[in-house]
Structure 1
Amino acid sequence: MKILIIKPSSFGDIIQALPCANALKEAYPGCFISWVVFNQWQDLPKLCSDIDEVIFWDRKNGLNGFFEVLGKVRATDFDLIIDLQGLLRSAFLAKFAKGKVKLGVPGMKELSNLLIKEVYPQNALMNATLRNLEPLRFLTGKKYEPKINITPDETLFKQFEPQLGKDFISFLPFARGKGKDWSLENYYELTDMFAEKYPDTKIAVLGSLGDFGKFQHNKITDLCGATDISSLAAVLSKSFLAVGADTGPMHLASVLQTPSVFIFGASDINETAPYIGKFSLLINKENPADIDKVTPTEVFAEIEKWKK
């Protein structure tokens, strides 16, 4: 059985969609799963052993990129096509790909549900990880427990071991989207608290190359821009703990079973909260958008719980 999953972006959303591949392998043993993803995220599905083929979509190439990826997927006659992105461009790709059955995830947008069938639209606001399993429930009548098979290449950590050693935690302080960034001042205060109590445990700050140098503190190791997705997974798998906002790398840390303290802001915690792994969720309940009302003392208390 040949199955195509269309989920081209973005980091955290792809992580929350990967359990669909595991459930498909359970439902249809021996099936061959192809995954369409934008070039910049191509290493994410490659981490997952349940995915047999990764098909790259060059988003920057505009309409030409769409027709290029359409040509790639039309080379195969699929038994099942699932659009987990739920946008017009992904639905067009599903519409014109060759497939016997075509389904979309609950919560399809941009009128994409006019192109392919949206299953259980009433479940559009459920947790994203569970929502991505709804097309399979529609097909089989069964609920599947979210599971994910990610195996980082631990040899990639060797290049960072001289800087970090074996006892370190990771801060992931940089998030996209208004109201998702906990202030650097809060992180500095948290760093002071942690370094005072655990002076032998190092702190790695992870982010993109554009974030390098933003976190100014003498107790941290700035690795922003030093990792790609594969080596980021290796670092996070070796980290004792991760702290950060609702970001893709934090969701990766959680599914890698690294204890993860999420500081939630404006994003919908009911929809985007992690479902798999070891995690704590902190949020300003009075006004979630005011993320800085979550105090360093509260975050440190959660770190202490995991340390014990």
Structure 2
Amino acid sequence: MTKGPTFRELWTFRYHKFTHIVGKFWSFAVKYLQLRRLKSRLGNRPLVAIILSEQMGDIIGCEPVAREVRKRHPDGYIIWVVREAYIDLVKYNPTLDGFLIEKCPGERVQLLRSGIYDKVYNLHISHRKCKYCPEDPINPIADQLGVTFDNYYHRGDLLYIFSQIAGLPALTADPVMYIPESARQAVQSRNLPSQPIVIHCQSSHVLRDWPASNWNQLVQWLLATYPYPVIEVGLVPTVTETNPRFLSLCGQLSLLETAEVIGKARLFIGIDSGPAHMANAMNTDGVILLGQLFDFVDYLPYSGRYKRGEGVTILNDYGHPCAELPYAWVQEATQQRLGQPKLV
């Protein structure tokens, strides 16, 4: 028999819920006043909001939306509404005038209801609620198109679908990442080896992951077969290799520093995750490991170069999760990308 929450757990949740909701209304009021002051300075320039606040890969993949919106509003003051963790993904985009940090989906609903924006391009699917707030975020265009969390990957890649639910044409452009000089210098100061093979092994969702034993075996084979060093990026390390030509930078890089490292790679090997979208946007050749994700069997998240199959090998044992992807497939695809092995 499953036990319910304890008295302490219940009141802890209620405390966090209360403080979050109070903070949401305060944050909404502050941002509303800031946006009102901004609009008073803009004169006749419309305030245009692009709303896609979370999921690293989604934001990277949908970068072309900013360029499309700029074409439609050449004189507009365009901001991207984003969660704090992902600010750097939009902060340096030259087609944007700024960004707004979103506290939670409940706050998003409050700002939309206020009518503060002159034009909104909402890339969110309906009904992804805050765990504390009562507001239910709705995207009428997504609902009209019948796009839900249960079927969106059946309609196409992230950019193709999200641009449509924002009220734009179905976009297919190549995503771009904008790396500031500060991030380039930070990476350069590490004196990393040139032409590394960069790997990313662990995502935010276990269904996307490949076994650690396979990653360790792959790294050992790479180091024994090719002259290239191997660098692991991400938050949590997976590979335990002690070879001096292997380097773990997990948890040591910012988002844009990670993108810069990937951009200098000889090859990127990774699961479906934010860094894979970085590799696509940085024009880095890749081997990408996919697998069944919930009810999505035959799906492709990427637009642009990776969607066209340029410089990438997409591996998917259809009907099986990524964890069951045969090791031999990954090794063979990697060898095809790197060319004839050269013994170290």
Band of TM-score, shorter chain: 0.7 to 0.9
Matched, 1:225 2:264: no
Paired position in structure 2 for 1:4 = 49
Q: Answer with 236-245 or 75-84: which moved more.
A: 75-84
Matches within 5 A, 1:195-210: 195-199=223-227, 201-208=228-235
**Which of the numbers 179, 187, 204 marks the counterpart of 1:152?**
179
Distance 2:297 2:47 in 1: 34
Q: Is the 8 A contact 1:168 1:204 kept in 2?
A: yes
Structure holding more strand per residue: 1
Per the alignment, residue 315 of structure 2 pairs with 282
Separation of aligned partners in 2, 1:37 and 1:47: 13
For residues 247-278 of structure 1, what are the alpha-carbon distances to aligned partners after superposition, in whole Å with 9 as ceiling and x for unaligned? 11111111111112111123236555212234
Distance 1:80 1:271 in 2: 31
- Map of 2:285 onto structure 1: 259
* Count of residue pairs brought into register by the alignment: 273
Over residues 59-114 of structure 1, what are the superposed CA-to-partner deviations in whole Å (9 max), with x where a residue is unaligned?
4xx96xx28x956x8999433202112244689xxxx9xxxxxxxxxxxxx6724x
Q: Would you say the 8 A contact 2:161–2:170 is kept in 1? A: no
Deviations along 1:8-60, one digit per CA (max 9) or x if unpaired, are 1111121222221122223443433211111111111224332221111234x
Normalised by the length of structure 1, the TM-score is 0.77
2:146 aligned residue: 121
What letter corresponds to residue 284 of structure 1 in structure 2? D
Does 2:207 correspond to 1:179? yes
TM-aligned CA deviation for residue 171 of structure 1 = 0.8
- After superposition, the Cα gap between the structure-2 partners of 1:185 and 1:298, relative to the gap in structure 1 and judged at 3 Å, is same
* Change in 2 beyond 3 A, CA 1:257/1:222: same
Cα distance change on mapping 1:247 and 1:117 into 2, 3 Å = closer
Q: Distance in 1 between matches of 2:126 and 2:285?
A: 33
Unaligned runs of 5+ in 2: 1-45, 306-310, 340-344
Structure number, greater radius of gyration: 2
- Of residues 122, 126, 130, the one that matches 2:160 is 130
The equivalent residue for 2:264 is: 238
Gaps of 5+ in 1: 97-109
In 2, the alpha carbon distance for the partners of 1:305 and 1:89 equals 41
TM-score by length of structure 2 reads: 0.69
Between the aligned partners of 1:207 and 1:48, the Cα distance in structure 2 is: 23
The partner residue of 2:79 within 15, 34, 38 is 34
Partner of 1:84: 123
